[in-house]
Amino acid sequence: MFYNLLKTPILIKSGRQLLGGLDHILHEAHLLFPNKILVTQKNLFEAYQHQLSGTIFSKTLFVGGGLMDEAFHVMDECRNNDALIIAFGGGSVLDIVKYAACRIDKPYIAIPSALSNDGICSCVARLTKNGKKASLDAQPPVGVIIDFDIISKSPKIMLYAGIADLVSNLSAIQDWRLAYHNVGEPINELAFLLSKQAALPLLRYTEDDMGTDNLLKDLANGLITSGLSMVASGNSRATSGAEHLISHAIDEFFPEKSTIHGIQVGWAQGIIAKRYRNDPFYVNRFHEQIGLKKVFEEMIPWSEDDFDMLISYAMKIRSRYTVFNTI
């Protein structure tokens, strides 16, 4: 008998008032370690010190987030400890721990402070070295805990970024299918299915639903499932297409005009869907009903006319076949 062997979390739990009961949650999941090391940002630690005080940590490490040097620091501090690493913070903190834990072969738990992208449970870390961001191989967490009380206090724009990033899966899988038909690139059907099904539940929501537990649950589950699609395929093909190339191009070539990744990705997806695909998933209608269209107008300094110029830069990012190759 032959099967795929996938690294998936032992523990996935979402709800309210979870951070204060961390030890109980870990005990229920049989994740018992002699030591626990907390990696977080100082402002988050101070904001949630009361909830965190219910858990005994052998060490607490403070990071700024997103830097390769900080990942090396975490490796040095955790390498010789028989410990479970607890990563508490935004995507930049989770990526530090994700990369560090992979390099020193340590288990870690992800507790996101915002739902801004699908890196919560993926096998890819984005870190900055010498001023440039790079996508690096990593390992998914052994557990994910999402406390809606914490997520609800994150800036609303971070929720919008997570929604836009997740819905952009529908653009990425179309690029993957295009690559299969045009150049024979193989498709991992499990990764394709997970990516698509992660995004579809969000399309029913409107701006009035922002911040509700139902939306937060679907967004959290979707971002985790999206990350697992990357684990299934071993890369980001199922979740990153032409729309992500545009965002990465803006970050690399026009950093002074860059903004939150998910917002850039969503803006690019809308234009791609309208120009080149007849918008089969009605993402532009969704962007309007959820309030993202207004966000794009406020935060994106690019016009649709600028988009053509950005395509040439996007195609320099990586050799991934997308709709841009057909233009």
Q: For residues 327 and 324, what is the distance between their CA atoms, to the nearest angstrom?
A: 5
Domain count, the chain: 2
Residues 170-217: pLDDT tens digits?
A: 999 999 999 999 999 999 999 999 999 999 999 999 999 999 999 999
Domain boundary among 123, 151, 179: 151
Q: What is the pLDDT of residue 152?
A: 96
Q: Are residues 100 and 199 in the same domain?
A: no
Q: Are residues 143 and 94 in the same domain?
A: yes
Q: What is the pLDDT of residue 146?
A: 98
Q: Are residues 165 and 223 in the same domain?
A: yes
- Please indicate, yes or no, if residue 141 is contained in any of the structural domains: yes
Q: Are 194 and 221 in contact (CB under 8 A)?
A: no
Tokens at residue 130, please?
Answer: 């010498």
- Please indicate, yes or no, if residue 21 is contained in any of the structural domains: yes
Q: Are residues 147 and 161 in the same domain?
A: no
Q: Are residues 118 and 163 in the same domain?
A: no
Question: Percentages helix, strand, coil for the chain, rounded to the nearest 5?
Answer: 55, 15, 30
Contacts of 309 (CB under 8 A, 6+ apart): none
- Please indicate, yes or no, if residue 107 is contained in any of the structural domains: yes
Q: What is the pLDDT of residue 6?
A: 81
Q: Are residues 147 and 166 in the same domain?
A: no
Q: Are residues 166 and 146 in the same domain?
A: no
Q: Are residues 190 and 321 in the same domain?
A: yes
- pTM for this structure? 0.93
Domain span including residue 82: 11-151
Q: What is the pLDDT of residue 1?
A: 65
In angstroms, the Cα distances linking 160 to 76, 116, 171, 212, 247 are 36, 7, 17, 13, 16
CATH of the domain at 234: 1.20.1090.10
Q: What is the pLDDT of residue 133?
A: 81
CATH of the domain at 140: 3.40.50.1970
Positions of the chain with pLDDT lower than 70, given as ranges: 1
Q: What is the pLDDT of residue 2?
A: 74
